[in-house]
Structure 1
Amino acid sequence: MPTEELARRWWVRGRRIASVERAGKFIDDVGFALLFPAPKPIGPSLWEAVAGEDDEPFGEGMGENEQRVWTWKDELPRRGLAWYGAYLGGRGSFLSPTLLAALYPGEGELDDHEHLDLSPAAHELAAALAIEPLSSATLRQLLGDKNKYQRAIGELQRNLLVTTAGVQESSNGWPAALLTLTCEQFDVGGTQDHSAAAAQYLDTMLTASAADLARAFRWSTPKARDLLDDLTHSGRATFDGRTYQPLTPR
């Protein structure tokens, strides 16, 4: 459970989110959010901003709030309001377009994947998506193995190369996520700014260690510490010998 200060920062207190547009504003404000909360708080979650901190997701099946956030995980990226994929802690996560641009590792080109150290399966999926958006079912068929697909798509999402872009109806009645290259859905490439990303992380978490930041964005701890120290030296953060805090917390 987040502290009172974090609960306000993470939109857990106050008016609940009831529209996809307001969900987009929430993610734009916090910069990053999980779809559902993690056992140990590692960031805000869309679920808690929608349902509050006392409701457990799927406690009584697919209710109204569950239906909302499950639909919005595909609708937010389709509208360009937030990137979605398995990112923070390997969990379903949203990134604001601004934070995404600061973290994106390529030049915003269809062949960005070719310049990264990825598995052959991940390269194969990225090359297929460079031609057109495809459903998760189609991509699984392309690789011919569900586990191989899960590893490859997870790899692409960890590197922010792929996101969802709505859903596609399937013959079995269950819609499949439609996937596309991030650079086709968002304005990214050539704007990487890890200092700005570190500042956003600190602004959202209110207090964090270098190890916390490193785990969140998959950086080395020395790199995370250097970035946080730079924020401290420039007067944008403080350090108490253990953790960092934004100089003017919300």
Structure 2
Amino acid sequence: MIKTIEQAYQFVKKEKVCTIFSSDKAELPSLWDHVDLPEKQPGEKGWGKRMTAVWTWKNELPAQYPNKIFYGKIKGGIAVLMDMDYLASDHFPRAYKNIQTQDSLAQHIYSKVVLEPWDTTSLRKVIMEEVDCTKSQFDTALKNLQITMNIARLNDPQIERDTWVAFKEQYLDIWKQRADDEEQ
């Protein structure tokens, strides 16, 4: 059972891919189910030790181990942590979809993110004003951009809000490997 971030790191490396929380939609192990920390106790303020650890580790693992651990979304919109070698060799080649195949809202969001990093709240506000979409439509498009490997969360431990960059910008080696594979 997991009690430290180092043990969480070893768990992700061993499993190759795991969900953050339990999910009936994915037949994958979850970090949540393997963390051995107490739930929120009656009268305790905040989330409790278990929830705090899992929620923190989902951001800290890719920030502390940027070349070893990936955070992203898989089909169904499920948040996962993934071994970087598995991402490069298995997941990315299966999940990547060219931005031109995405709907116009996703392409518009991508056109912003590819120019500079954007945090979710600021990006949502600007996009909703520019294209008159709903929060739900925006959230779906952002999730699909993650699933199709067009954007990724910026791995910067100094940034507290989810901030998005082009996948290609953050993981150029994986991107180039895909391009090299296609040429062969």
**Which structure has more helix as a fraction of its residues?**
2
Q: TM-score, normalised by structure 1?
A: 0.56
In the superposition, relative to structure 1, how do residues 164 and 59 fare at CA in structure 2: closer, same or farther (>3 Å)? farther
User: How large is the Cα RMSD of the aligned pairs?
Assistant: 3.0
Residue of structure 2 aligned with 1:101, choices 77, 88, 95: 88
Q: TM-score, normalised by structure 2?
A: 0.73
Contact (CA 8 Å) 2:77, 2:144: kept in 1 or not?
no
In the superposition, relative to structure 1, how do residues 149 and 77 fare at CA in structure 2: closer, same or farther (>3 Å)? farther
What's the offset of the Cα at 1:86?
2.6
Residue of structure 2 aligned with 1:122, choices 106, 112, 117: 106
**Identical residues among aligned pairs (%):** 24
Runs (4 or more) in structure 1 with deviation over 3 Å come to 57-61, 166-169
Aligned-partner residue type, residue 16 of structure 1: I
1:176-233 residue CA offsets vs partner (Å, 9 max, x unmatched): 31222223333312445xxxxxxxxxxxxxxxxxxxxxxxxxxxxxxxxxxxxxxxxx
1:188 partner SS: helix
In the superposition, relative to structure 1, how do residues 157 and 137 fare at CA in structure 2: closer, same or farther (>3 Å)? same
> What does 1:208-247 correspond to in 2, within 5 Å?
none
Matches of 2:25 and 2:142, distance apart in 1: 25
In the superposition, relative to structure 1, how do residues 99 and 31 fare at CA in structure 2: closer, same or farther (>3 Å)? same
**Long gaps (5+) in structure 2:** 129-133, 179-184
Aligned-partner residue type, residue 152 of structure 2: T
Counterpart for residue 16 of structure 1: 2
Contact (CA 8 Å) 2:13, 2:83: kept in 1 or not?
yes
Counterpart for residue 233 of structure 1: none
Contact (CA 8 Å) 2:40, 2:50: kept in 1 or not?
no
2:137 aligned with 1:151: no
Matches of 2:40 and 2:107, distance apart in 1: 35
Contact (CA 8 Å) 1:168, 1:178: kept in 2 or not?
no
